[in-house]
Amino acid sequence: MAAKIKEAFLNDVIKEIGEKKGVFSAVLCVESGDHSFSWTGAVGDMQNDSQYFIASVTKLYVTAVVMCLIEGGRIGLDDKISSYLPEEMMEGLHVLKGEDKSDDITVKHLISNTSGIPDYFFHKTPGGRSPAAELQDGKDGLWHLEKTLKLVKQLTPNFEPGKKGKAKYSDTNYQLLGRIIEIITEKDMGEVFQKYIFDELGLNDTYAYKDITDIKPAAFYYKSKKLWLPNYFASITAEGGIVSTAEEAMIFLKGFFKGHLFPMEKIADLKKWNLILPPPTLFFYGIGMEKLFTPKIASPFKPITEIIGFWGQTGSFAWYNPDTDLYFTGTTNQVNGAGHIAAQKAIVKIIKYAL
């Protein structure tokens, strides 16, 4: 199927992304699973090899690490997080209607966003503004786990841990999961990613962002304003702190789905989907990965069965379509949603072309 895709068509696709109102730069890498086809293109401020913040696509890397630790017998999805985290961290973590449910939370609840723990990112601080709003205004700041929990423990949980049919996206879950991984491995998350993924796959231009003087990653936009938030990204490694390129993100994505990091048959166990966002922004969350909603009308004669992987807040993406055996990585470097819409439209267009 990939042999059908013409370079001129892909050049038009990346050009369309760049022409989308509110998108100022983008890079897109498309590859087939059998290595017979590979293409990368960029527009605007980006080049094919530009490094960028992959933001929440980092969470797919966390999933890979957790799967490796499961294979090594060092963690289990049904493990209570209270068996890893200190008592002061657990105290008052999940109190709903006067009942403390903190001890009911498992590793699976964190990685599947079914813990009910609120997302710190979009909730208002005591000052009346959310961390997201402050960051979008360009006010850089640290959001390490201890600061996050101080805010979250003042908020009402969304639902009981593991309540059937309930899921709510929460960056807090992955900050907690990152700390658990650090405790188990006795390494910080940057070292963990290096050992389990970057070194394993030979990634030389991918790293966990730590040095706030490092200006190699491309700046991204909120509307028409460039944002540069080094302190923030240095403080949220497990939640969204990886820097990569489209082509190295592709190496990871294929490694994730093709069994280079953990047994390929385990992917089926991750497909336990819950609806994570209501219309019109529909997508589903499983065990550490996401699935795009693709209505039949999008491809009525040749239905697209699934597109699985991950979005990042910065317009970054890593998606796989089993129907065509095509993989997609890159970014639109735009945090207000315009880039996500443009990227999804492009991915669906390419899949339909290849079907």
Tens-place pLDDT, residues 22-79: 899 999 999 999 989 999 999 998 999 999 999 999 999 999 999 999 999 999 999 9
The β-bridge partners of 320 are 308, 327
Q: Are 355 and 1 in contact (CB under 8 A)?
A: yes
- In the predicted model, what is the mean pLDDT of residues 233-249? 98
pLDDT level of residue 125 (50, 70, 90 thresholds):
confident
Helices (DSSP H) in 128-226: which residue ranges?
Answer: 131-136, 145-152, 171-185, 189-193, 199-201
Reduce the DSSP state of residue 262 to 3 states and report it.
Answer: coil
| pLDDT at 127 (0 to 100) | 75
Domains recognised in the chain with CATH numbers: 2-58+205-354 (3.40.710.10), 63-185 (3.40.710.10)
Distance from CA of residue 196 to its chain's centroid?
Answer: 17
pLDDT level of residue 221 (50, 70, 90 thresholds):
very high
CB atoms within 10 A of CB 259: 13
CA atoms of 124 and 133, how far apart (whole Å)? 9
